Amino acid sequence: MSFSVNYDAIFADTSVAQYLADWSAYFGDINHRPGHVIEGDVMDNPNANSGGFNGKFLSGTEYAVGSTHTPAAVIAEGDLAYTLFSTPAHTFYGTINSLHFGNSLSKDFVSGNYSIEDTHVSFEGLGDYLHSAKTDGHVGIVHQAMYGLMSGDATVLTDALDHILADYGVSTANTFDEVAAAISNAPQHAVADATPVGVTDVVDDYAIAA
């Protein structure tokens, strides 16, 4: 799957790095890290939100989480899992094919699919770059990227995107319009520049512990 980016036109002149920094600051730190949960129970901490999977309790084709501070949310799509207490404990692993950022997370209880009502930006075709094995533990890029986003820090994801965008002669310092143009002009690659629309439903957040 080729890399592509979809974005709301309002962000056309915003750099990718600036958007991710702003989104991360708005999302904040939801304390889903070792030492941030009272008595080992994520529900004991009002600022700890572990999100949920579309599939099984600790694995699925989607992982979604919303901020406890603001409406900010992110959905990761791919083949994802979380170890909980099995070794290596509290580890995200698998493959992230796409990431969707915006506000107002919701879930369709019939299909199990998550959506973001106000989608700002989507990155597609990440699977060749964002994948790690269970045995990688906390050094795996999937773990580091997801825990970073849940901690209000998009540094790992930004670095990964810079690695991807280097193939197109641009970086996250470029605006979304510039990135879109570079990708669309590259051989055998295409980008869709659109304003995505989400589907509103009832939010279903599962606590998977921290």
Reported as a single tens digit per residue, the pLDDT across 98-157 is 999 999 999 888 888 999 999 999 999 999 999 999 999 999 999 999 999 999 999 999
- Which residues lie closer than 8 Å to 209 by C-beta, 6 or more apart? 37, 40, 41, 42, 50, 84, 85, 90
Residue-range domain boundaries for the chain: 4-185
Name which residue leads in pLDDT, 203 or 56.
Answer: 56
For residues 83 and 160, what is the distance between their CA atoms, to the nearest angstrom?
23
pLDDT at residue 119 in the model: 97
Segment (H or E) for 4: strand 4-7
CATH 3.30.1500.10 fits 4-185, yes or no: yes
Q: Any idea of the CA torsion for 183, 185, 190, 196, to the nearest 10 degrees?
A: 60
Note whether 191 and 29 are within 8 A (CB).
Answer: no
Which range has the worst mean pLDDT, 39-43, 95-99, 191-195? 39-43
pLDDT of residue 57: 87
pTM (predicted TM-score): 0.82
